[in-house]
Amino acid sequence: SIQPDDIKIEYHPNSGRVPSIQRFDEFGKQDHIQSQIPLSSTPWQPWRSRMDFEVASLALECHMNEKQTNKLVNLLNHAARGLDAFTLKDHKEIQNIWDLSAERLTKFQRADIVVPYRNSEPEPYELHYRPIWDWLQELLLDQKIVSQMQWDAQRLFKFDAKTQTWKRFIEEAWSANAWWEIQSKLPAGAVPLCIVFYADKIKLSSFGTAKGYPVIVRCANLPMHIRNRAGTDGGRVVGWLPVVTEDAEHSGKADWANFKNTVWHESTGKILESIVEYSKVGYKMKCGDHIHRHLFPCIIIESSDYEEQCVICLTRGLRSLCPCVQCLIPKDQLMDFENEYPMRTLEQTLRILNDAGKKVSKGDKEEVLKQYSLRPVLNAFAKLANSDPYFGVSFDNLHFGSSGLWGDHIFEEAKVQFSNRESMTAIDHRFKIFPRWRNLHHFESSVMRSSFNDGSKHDDISRLFLFAAYSVTTEKENKAGYTLLKVMRKYINMIMYADLNVHTSDTMTAGRDSIEDFISTLQVYVTQTADREKPKAWNSVIKIHYFRHLYNDIENKGVLQGMSTKPNEKFHGPLRKIYLWQTNFKDTAKQIVRIEHQNVVATHIWDAIEALDKYHQQETDVPDDLESVLDNVHFTMGSKLKSLTFGELEDSGTIFARLHIRVSEFLSALLTTLNHHVQIKYTRNDSVTPYQFLNVRYESLDTWRLAVDYLRCNPKFQDMILSFSMARLDSRCLHNYNIYLCAQWEMSNIPLPLCRHTKLCISMRGHMLTRILVFFAFARSRHWS
């Protein structure tokens, strides 16, 4: 029978699979993958020993240059030899063996991209690339990796007991609409092999004079928590695009911009070349899990910032007539969320290019393309089946939310509205004293007087700013400034829904409503600031408009986590370190891709070594009694303090008054059953052990999977004193009055969290902070538990 929260899975008809229903607790759990017998007992070869490989891998990981590597090798050669031999001689030998090891995986190839510009002699541009199909085959032939892939499009539903209906939800790309549509175009039994494509120009040197242009791909058939991580099953650099230097003679000219875009698409076309034919006719192969599949590779998501999306889609950018890469909205109507505008498609674009090509004069051709903000260049993605770039470009929460709409616009407006010294000082102070929390930046220095390039810092500032600024002004003192605080509240709500890891039909409806609320509140602010000497042109902010496409992207391609640029931008730091520490700053592209490939090979060898070690480890059954009451599947207590008596704890402050009596009463009631009465009685002389850290594992209502929270009540955590007196609510939140105790009874440890209750202030219900900014105030309660 159907139970509340049951999950129903409908598979694409071409799969031949019947629908299934799973219990909520079982949904999303991976089937156990049987351990493979290691292919080699010496996976570190061609290194002469495991010790040699580990030392070389350490030198690579630490970005050691030749001088540092030779010094490390000399030190080890002078050391006494242990059970394993260390035989390396110097940096040169290490590099030679790395080159031998490089044959394990798909190596970079070099190609010269030649594109003519006007009547000048064509200049070859150097491209380094890995054929994408070779990378895909590495994944498909790996039994462990391919066993975790999903192939068939799915429609997922959760049973809502309240309405007695099945409600659809979306998570991974295969649960969204695009995958279903792609599989509908394939032969029966065939499956999509979907790719996430990312490219971005990065600064390699501190002053930005040296640049790199990596292309990174991920396999969307793998779950997000796998493909978004580092490792052989995560992202892979498959290209190092040529950087066309800006020449003062040509800068700003339309034909020079077209030339640079042509170089980009010719280079990208070379990277994609190996999958063009297979995207149309498919490829049949036996995968690493011994299953024969008919595979059709395609690009389902292009993950990038706005500037890169314009290059991918060959549009003319922010100042053009139609700046959006997904639709044809005019440039001065970007805040229009009421009217519908035509969507761009690859088919439509090819037709426009064809019409423009029929024009005789250059001016007539330009006139046709200009009204659609298109460039006269053939798109590299047009050669692939089921890979429409205008559909693939996606909302990115980093560039369009945190660093974009918030960092470039709302935050800058806050600096204008709250620019007086008193307000800035108060806001900075509250940021400084805000309690530290896991995965939350702490801002010691000024926030209001600083600029941030880190999108994750902008994200944290956007979540905290309202709590730091809510009292610096009133509606009477600064009407526009107070409206901006309302805008911030609407922005937080909008981002909260957007960032959900699982989206149901209900949350998407609420999310769309939150965008409407944000836009209407922002329009009030725009009106109130229209009489400025230089009013902000909000109608031209492209990153506001992108929120219009947000939930369409989620419905078509899955939640934002799968489209985010964040996992790919984590490559920037290591690539920059390779340039700074391991090249001679000459002909750097060749050196960078060589060392980047060594990193990939090292990861692959380490995976094999760990699998070999695991295989040789004797598996022993874990005794049932090994699990401790202080360390089990549900929670772990830590930060243990010295044991003391109840009396000592009670004498330390009134908050612990009568603690031994309250604990006795609580445990007696807890352990008493209908058939057995338990009477526990502690005295002031009985000992108790305090703990100040609790690791709690629970089922997340956001991800529907196991999550972990760290709860701390250390009086001094990360150098910040948390006093045991009631601190101001706006600065200390609810950190106070928590301590975790371990009492003993009949030789058993009994863990107990001691918490002081708080209660919602009834008097605040009509307050403007509750009504307008949706703040809730809590006060101390006399009750403890």
Helices 91-101/66-78 angle, 10° precision: 100
Q: What is the pLDDT of residue 213?
A: 97
Is there a single domain that holds both residue 534 and residue 403? yes
> Considering 506, 530, 548, which residue would you say is the last residue of a domain?
548
Is there a single domain that holds both residue 527 and residue 412? yes
Helices 479-498/505-528 angle, 10° precision: 160
Q: Which residue has the higher pLDDT, 588 or 653?
A: 588
Q: Is a pLDDT exceeding 50 seen at residue 61?
A: yes
Per residue in 626-658, is it b (16+ CB within 10 Å) or e — as a string? eeeebeeeebbbeeeeeeebbbebbeeeebbee
Provide the CB-side half-sphere exposure for 98 (13 A, CA).
24
Q: What is the pLDDT of residue 723?
A: 32
Worst-scoring range by mean pLDDT, 45-59, 107-121, 420-434, 448-462? 45-59
Assign 658 a pLDDT band (cuts: 50, 70, 90): confident
Assign 736 a pLDDT band (cuts: 50, 70, 90): very low
Assign 45 a pLDDT band (cuts: 50, 70, 90): confident
Q: What is the pLDDT of residue 776?
A: 73
Residue 488 in domain: yes
Q: Is a pLDDT exceeding 50 seen at residue 728?
A: no
Q: Which residue has the higher pLDDT, 366 or 736?
A: 366
- Averaged over 433-448, what is the pLDDT? 88
Answer for the pair 220, 227: CB distance below 8 angstroms, yes or no. Answer: yes
Q: Is a pLDDT exceeding 50 seen at residue 270?
A: yes
Question: How would you classify the pairing of strands 165-170 and 720-721?
Answer: unpaired
Q: What is the pLDDT of residue 109?
A: 96
Residue 672 in domain: yes
Question: At a CB cut-off of 8 Å and minimum separation 6, what does 49 contact?
Answer: 84, 85, 86, 87
- Averaged over 454-468, what is the pLDDT? 93
> Which amino acid appears at position 610 of this protein?
E
Residue 403 in domain: yes
Q: What is the pLDDT of residue 209?
A: 87
Residue 568 in domain: no
As a whole-number percent, the residues of the chain with pLDDT over 90 amount to 58
Tally the domains of the chain.
3
Closest CA to 693 of 630, 780, 785, 756: 630
Assign 731 a pLDDT band (cuts: 50, 70, 90): very low
Q: Is a pLDDT exceeding 60 seen at residue 208?
A: yes
Report the SS3 class of residue 763: helix
Is there a single domain that holds both residue 372 and residue 418? no
Q: Which residue has the higher pLDDT, 34 or 440?
A: 440
Is there a single domain that holds both residue 325 and residue 403? no
Considering 667-676, 741-750, 767-776, the range whose residues carry the highest mean pLDDT is 667-676
pLDDT tens digits along 501-533: 999 999 999 999 999 999 999 999 999 999 998
Assign 156 a pLDDT band (cuts: 50, 70, 90): very high
Is there a single domain that holds both residue 346 and residue 417? no
pLDDT tens digits along 395-410: 999 999 999 999 999 9
Residue 272 in domain: no
Residue 147 in domain: no
Is there a single domain that holds both residue 408 and residue 537? yes
φ, ψ at 33 (rounded to 5°): -95, 120
Worst-scoring range by mean pLDDT, 13-17, 96-100, 304-308, 366-370? 96-100
Q: Report DSSP state, residue 549.
A: T
Is there a single domain that holds both residue 537 and residue 443? yes
In the block, tokens 């426009």 appear at: 352
Is there a single domain that holds both residue 371 and residue 401? no
Q: What is the pLDDT of residue 734?
A: 34
Assign 214 a pLDDT band (cuts: 50, 70, 90): very high
Transcribe 210-270 into DSSP letters: SEE-EEEEEETTS-HHHHTSSSTTS-EEEEE-------TTTTT-HHHHHHHHHHHHHHHHH
Considering 245-259, 347-361, 610-624, the range whose residues carry the highest mean pLDDT is 347-361
Q: Is a pLDDT exceeding 90 seen at residue 580?
A: yes
pLDDT tens digits along 617-654: 755 444 444 455 556 667 888 888 888 888 988 888 77
- Average pLDDT taken over every residue of the chain: 87
Considering 23-32, 45-54, 448-457, the range whose residues carry the highest mean pLDDT is 448-457
pLDDT tens digits along 548-565: 999 999 999 999 999 999
- Report angle CA 737, 739, 743 to the nearest 5 degrees: 140
Is there a single domain that holds both residue 346 and residue 428? no
Q: What is the pLDDT of residue 652?
A: 81
Token pair belonging to 310: 């314009």
Token pair belonging to 547: 């929120």
Residue 600 in domain: no
Q: Is a pLDDT exceeding 90 seen at residue 81?
A: no
Provide the CB-side half-sphere exposure for 486 (13 A, CA).
21
Is there a single domain that holds both residue 411 and residue 368? no
Worst-scoring range by mean pLDDT, 310-324, 377-391, 467-481, 515-529? 467-481
As a whole-number percent, the residues of the chain with pLDDT over 70 amount to 88
Is there a single domain that holds both residue 421 and residue 541? yes
Q: Which residue has the higher pLDDT, 483 or 28?
A: 483
Q: Which residue has the higher pLDDT, 82 or 105?
A: 105
- Averaged over 761-770, what is the pLDDT? 60
Q: What is the pLDDT of residue 249?
A: 76
Q: What is the pLDDT of residue 192?
A: 98
Worst-scoring range by mean pLDDT, 363-372, 692-701, 727-736? 727-736
Answer for the pair 292, 283: CB distance below 8 angstroms, yes or no. Answer: no
Question: How would you classify the pairing of strands 716-717 and 292-303?
Answer: unpaired
Answer for the pair 144, 219: CB distance below 8 angstroms, yes or no. Answer: no
Q: What is the pLDDT of residue 719?
A: 39
pLDDT tens digits along 701-726: 778 777 888 877 765 554 333 332 22
Worst-scoring range by mean pLDDT, 243-252, 408-417, 598-607? 243-252
Q: Is a pLDDT exceeding 80 seen at residue 748?
A: no
Q: Which domain holds residue 734?
A: 627-755
Answer for the pair 754, 771: CB distance below 8 angstroms, yes or no. Answer: no
Is there a single domain that holds both residue 415 and residue 502? yes
Worst-scoring range by mean pLDDT, 152-161, 273-282, 742-751? 742-751
Q: Which residue has the higher pLDDT, 12 or 779?
A: 12
pLDDT tens digits along 598-618: 999 989 988 888 888 887 775
Q: What is the pLDDT of residue 40?
A: 77
Residue 524 in domain: yes
Q: How far apart are CA 264 and CA 266, in angstroms?
A: 6
Answer for the pair 574, 235: CB distance below 8 angstroms, yes or no. Answer: no
Q: Which residue has the higher pLDDT, 81 or 463?
A: 463
Q: Is a pLDDT exceeding 50 seen at residue 738?
A: no
